Amino acid sequence: MDSSSEQMAELRELAGSRDVLAVVAVRMRIVLWSAEGPRRKDIAELAGAAPLTRSSPRSDSPRPA
């Protein structure tokens, strides 16, 4: 993800705002963490998400008939 430092600063400010729904703030934090470069597993842990029991198929992969 390629974002300007101004955009990232605005996102940080909004993520900490009481005027933003909690679910939206978590998504903003996920975007911020992703920009910092940690693994998806680590980001999920930071966000408090439960680990997946299996990987879901990619949307561009062929579906079984």
- Enumerate the H helices of the chain as residue ranges: 5-15, 22-36, 40-47
Length of the chain: 65
Residues 6+ apart with CB under 8 A from 1: 31, 34, 35
Quick: pLDDT tens for 25-58. Answer: 888 888 888 887 778 787 777 777 766 656 666 6
Both tokens of 31, joined, read 């975007």
Quick: pLDDT tens for 52-65. Answer: 656 666 666 566 66
